[in-house]
Structure formats: C-alpha cells, structure tokens
Amino acid sequence: GENYRDDSITSFPHAPSPVPEFSRAASSLSPVSLGRKFRQNDVKRQDIDRIATAPQPPRQLSSRFVNVSHDELKALPLLVETPSGERETLLLSKLRMCSTLFDFTDNTAQLKSKEIKRLTLLELAEFISINSSSLTEPVYVGIINLVKLNAFRTIATIYTNTEMSDYADNDDEQISNLEPSWPHLQLVYDLFLRFISSPDFQASIGKKYLDQQFFKNLLELFKSEDPRERELVKMILHRAYGKLVTLRPFIRRLMNNIFLRFVYEEEGHCGIAELLEILGSIINGFQTPLKEEHKQFLRRVLLPLHKSPTMSHFHAQLTYCTTEFIKKDSSLFTMVSIYFSGKSLFIQEYIYS
C-alpha cells in the first residue's frame, strides 16, 4: 500500500528548489512581464539564459536542432477576447501552432515566429489556470501532443558513471550544455505542469493519453544535462505520480531500471538526484509493514548507490531515502549498518538530528 501526497516532495540542502521560481511567479505576472521580471531578479540565471541562446556545438544530443524552414506564424486572436462558444476551437488551434519547432542555434532565424509562439505559450498557460471549464478531452489531447512534439527526443548517454564524476565538478561545462530551445521548452513544461496540477484535472481522462509510452519518454528527459529541464521534469513526474494511481507501479519500475543501469552497468546519468527526490516522497508514503519487494530495493539498489563515484552530487537525497526506509522498519538498520561496515553513525545522525 501507498499513501502518496502530490505536494509532499522534500527540499534538500544544496538541492534545487522543488518549485521552479518562474512557476511560482507566473500566477501573479502577466504573460508579457513573466520572463522579463524573472531574469531581472536573478543575475546568475540571466547569464545562464544568455549562454543558452548563443550558438554552440552540443556535447550531449539534447536538442533537436531543427533545420527545416517554416512559414511565418501568424498571431491568433486572444482567447479572453473570443466568444466562449468559439474558445475551444481557438485553443486547439493555438496548441497545434505551438507544436511548430524552431532552430535556436541561429539567433537571427524566424524571430517574429519565435516570439509569437512564446507569447502564445504564456497565454495558454495563464488561460488554463483560470478557466477550469477549458479542460475538455480534446484539450487534454492537444496539451499532451504539445509536450510530445516539443520535449520528447532521444538524449544520448555519452558518459560512464566514472566520467560523470569529473564532468559534474566542472561548472563551466554544465553551463555550456544548456538546452538551446529553452525559451520555448520552459514554457511548454510550465503549461503542462499547470495542466496536470489543476484541481480540475481528471485522471479518468488523463490516463487514456498519459500511457506507459508517455512515461518512458518522460523519464528519458532526466538524462538532459540542463538542470533547469531536469527540475521541471521532476515536478511534472511528481504531480503525475500523485494523480495517476494506476500507473504508479509502472513508474516505479522505470525508475528502478534507471538506478540499476546506473549502479551495475555504470551508465552515466545526470538525473539521479532528481529521481531520488521523487523516490523519497514515494518511500515516505509507503504503508507499513513494508513489502518484501521494497526491502529488496533498499538492499539491491539504494545501498549500492552509496558506492557511486558521483555520490556526492546526490548524497542528501540518497540519505533521506535510506533513512525513510529505516523509519518505516527499524529492523532495516541492521542491514544498513552491516553494509556500511561500522559507519552506521552516518545514518544515526540523520535519524536523530
């Protein structure tokens, strides 16, 4: 059994905030001022955004690098100025228009169309947040297709676990591998996060289109070297896990497979910390007595993660997960103590602090 709250994700020291700053600000800002105010308030993020939009050869195949030229997009009427009987048709048209992809490695290409798409995505996010009646089944399909077309892609793993240790210590390399298409991709994620977080989201409709293949593709995005993308994908998966109860076992299996490849095949992965944050909330919701499969996961996956050469980058999240298991079943402390060969004080400090 599992008692999972979709607002229960844990914030860790030195870890990214669980709620993206731009998402918190979005509810109080107009579409035009949202991006501007966010950048003004954060000089470091401003520098990151500047680097991210500059042409640069990718080390990780994280962007689609679209080279196809499109006709210029044409701005459609505002939804709030459209008669209510015509809004769904216009909303679906805007979602289809925003499925157009652009080449962000060329800062001079199709600037007008890029800006139209950006403003339209901002408008859509705000509209669905304040118009619950807009979430009809065709709109579910449109929003989910928008994510598939804008975000889902193959991200090649080019590092081993050991090589990731050197890479993760180099801040300059991390900045240089930011996602060029972020000006649009960020807004696509924000729109989807608002959609799936809406109190009017209906799991009975959502599960028709948010299927196993969708979540296979979604978890692939944790390979992204861009920490901004991993943070938003984490929030989306966290909310989806809370809403779509029937898919929880499958999502856990997907996460387990990632951890197993990371531990036993030394497959490099950028998103272990974010996945462990979600896992911490999942473990927190486990009912007692714990199932044997959960205890085996601790023994076969979580404990071996402590030996990873990159463990320092997800130490807080991993320790939280381990201690949550012990709090659920104190008998597991013996297993953990034996594994650490006398270093059990490391765990005790977390439990009783």
Query: Which residue do the tokens 């048209």 mark?
Result: 93
pLDDT band with cut points at 50, 70 and 90 for residue 66: low
Helix (H, G, I), strand (E, B) or coil at 307: coil
pLDDT at 347: 53
Tell which residue, 122, 176, 192, 184, has the closest CA to residue 150: 184
Which contiguous run of DSSP H or E holds residue 187?
A: helix 182-197
Helix (H, G, I), strand (E, B) or coil at 56: coil
Query: Which residue do the tokens 């399909």 mark?
Result: 141
Tell which residue, 14, 20, 21, has the closest CA to residue 317: 14
Q: Which residues contact 131 (CB under 8 A, 6 or more apart)?
A: none
Specify whether the CB–CB gap between 321 and 303 falls below 8 A: no
Integer CA distances (angstroms), 119 to 97, 112, 114, 242, in order: 12, 11, 9, 30
pLDDT band with cut points at 50, 70 and 90 for residue 60: very low
DSSP 301: I
For residue 286, list its beta bridge partners.
2
pLDDT at 177: 82
pLDDT at 168: 52
pLDDT at 283: 97
pLDDT band with cut points at 50, 70 and 90 for residue 39: very low
Whether residue 246 has pLDDT greater than 90: yes
Integer CA distances (angstroms), 67 to 15, 45, 102, 109, 265, in order: 36, 28, 8, 10, 35
DSSP 310: T
Q: 154-163, 254-263, 334-343 — which one is most confidently predicted on average?
A: 254-263
Burial of 293 (0-12, 13-18, 19+ CB in 10 A): exposed
Encoded tokens for 120: 């339209």
For residue 160, list its beta bridge partners.
267
pLDDT in tens, 139-180: 999 999 999 999 999 887 655 555 555 555 555 445 458 999
Report CA torsion sign: 62, 64, 67, 72: negative
pLDDT in tens, 264-279: 987 789 999 999 999 9
Structural domains of the chain, with CATH: 21-352 (1.25.10.10)
Mean pLDDT, the chain, rounded, equals 81
How far is it, in rounded angstroms, from Cα 274 to Cα 254? 14
Encoded tokens for 22: 């731009």
- Choose the weakest-confidence range: 31-45, 105-119, 152-166, 254-268: 31-45
pLDDT in tens, 209-245: 999 999 999 999 999 999 999 999 999 999 999 999 9
What's the whole-model pTM score?
Answer: 0.81
How far is it, in rounded angstroms, from Cα 147 to Cα 236? 11
Q: Which residues contact 244 (CB under 8 A, 6 or more apart)?
A: 203, 206, 207, 210
Report CA torsion sign: 248, 253, 254, 258: positive
pLDDT at 337: 84
Helix (H, G, I), strand (E, B) or coil at 18: coil
